[in-house]
Amino acid sequence: MKEVFGMWKYTKMVVLVALSAAIFAALLIPFKALVLIPGFTEVRPANALPIVLGLLFGPAGAWGAAIGNLIGDFFGTLGIGSIFGFIGNFFSAYIPYKLWNKLALVNESDEDPLLLDNTKKVVNFVIVALLSSMACALIIAWGLEMLQLVPFAALATIISLNNSVPSIVLGIPLMLILYPRIKKWDLLWTDIVEEEYLEKKSSAARVGALLMVVGIVGGITTGLIAALGLSGQAAFAGGFTQGQMGSVGVTLMAGSGVVLTVIGSLIEQ
C-alpha cells in the first residue's frame, strides 16, 4: 500500500487525483435529485468511474474517487456517514488495480493487460467490478449500521447493485475508449511512478490478495446472514420497514470482513 502515500511526490499523480475527483464529482452532482436513500445515496451512473480511474491511474484514481465522492456529498448527503463514504469509495478504485493481475485470467506476459481484447480479460473486469462494488458496500453499510443510521442489509444490497451495474455496463466501453489514449499520452500510473511503488510478485502479495477477496465476499455474506437472520432486516427497500440496527452480530461479522480487507491491502504490495 506504500504507493498510496508515495504517489504524492509525483506532480502528474497529484494532477490525476484532482482530475479524477473533479470528473467524478461533476458526474455525481446532477443525479443528486434521484434519491434512493434520503440523505445517504442516490442513483449514481458515475459509479462506472472508480474502477476505470483505479485501473488507469492507480492510487491517484483511488484518492480521486474518495475526494470526488466527498465533494458530491456537499450537495445533499454530507454527514458523519461521509467518513465511511470516503473510505468505501477509495477502496472501490483501489481494489481493481490491486487485484487485476491476481485472478489468473490476465496473462503476465501481456503487453496490454488493461486492453479488454479477449473474453478472459472481460470476465476479469466483471469479477473485479463486483469485488470493488461489494467492498464499497461492505465498508459503508458496516459503518452506518454501527452508527444505527441505516440497516446493513438494505444499504449493502442497494450499494452493491448501484455500483456493480454501471461499473460493468458503462465501465467496459469506457476502458475500451480510454485505455489506448491514456497509454499513448503516458498517463498510466505504472508509467509515472518509480519501480519501488509497483506491484511485486511474491507470496505476500498473493496472500494479501486472497485476504482481500475473502474479506470482501465473506464480510458481505456473513454480514447479510446476520442482518437477515439475527436482526430481522430485509434486503433493498424492504430493509427500511423491518428489523433492528446496531446488532453486535452484524457489526462483528461485517467488521471482520472489513478488517481482513484492510489487512490484505497492507501486505498486498
Annotated domain spans of the chain:
2-267
Query: In the prediction, which pLDDT does 42 show?
Result: 58
List pLDDT tens digits, range 156-192. 999 999 999 999 999 999 999 999 999 999 999 999 9
List pLDDT tens digits, range 126-149. 999 999 999 999 999 999 999 999
Full-model pTM: 0.94
List pLDDT tens digits, range 55-95. 999 999 999 999 999 999 999 889 999 999 999 999 999 99
In angstroms, the first-to-last Cα distance of the chain is: 6
Pinpoint the alpha helices (H) of the chain: 2-6, 11-28, 49-57, 59-73, 82-99, 119-146, 152-169, 171-184, 203-225, 248-267
Q: What is the mean pLDDT of residues 217-232?
A: 96
Distance of CA 202 to the CA centre of its chain: 24
Reduced 3-state DSSP string for 170-186: CHHHHHHHHHHHHHHCC
Q: How far apart are CA 269 and CA 168, in angstroms?
A: 26
Residue 198: strand, helix, or coil: coil
Query: Residue 41: which pLDDT band, with cuts at 50, 70 and 90?
Result: low
Instruction: Judge whether residue 250 has pLDDT over 60.
Output: yes
Instruction: Judge whether residue 43 has pLDDT over 70.
Output: no
Q: Is 235 exposed, middle or buried (0-12, 13-18, 19+ CB in 10 A)?
A: middle
Query: Residue 252: which pLDDT band, with cuts at 50, 70 and 90?
Result: very high
Residue 192 C-alpha cell reads as 509515472
Q: How far apart are CA 71 and CA 18, in angstroms?
A: 12
Q: How far apart are CA 139 and CA 213, in angstroms?
A: 14
Query: In the prediction, which pLDDT does 108 show?
Result: 81
Q: How far is CA 228 from CA 222, 225, 243, in A?
A: 10, 5, 8
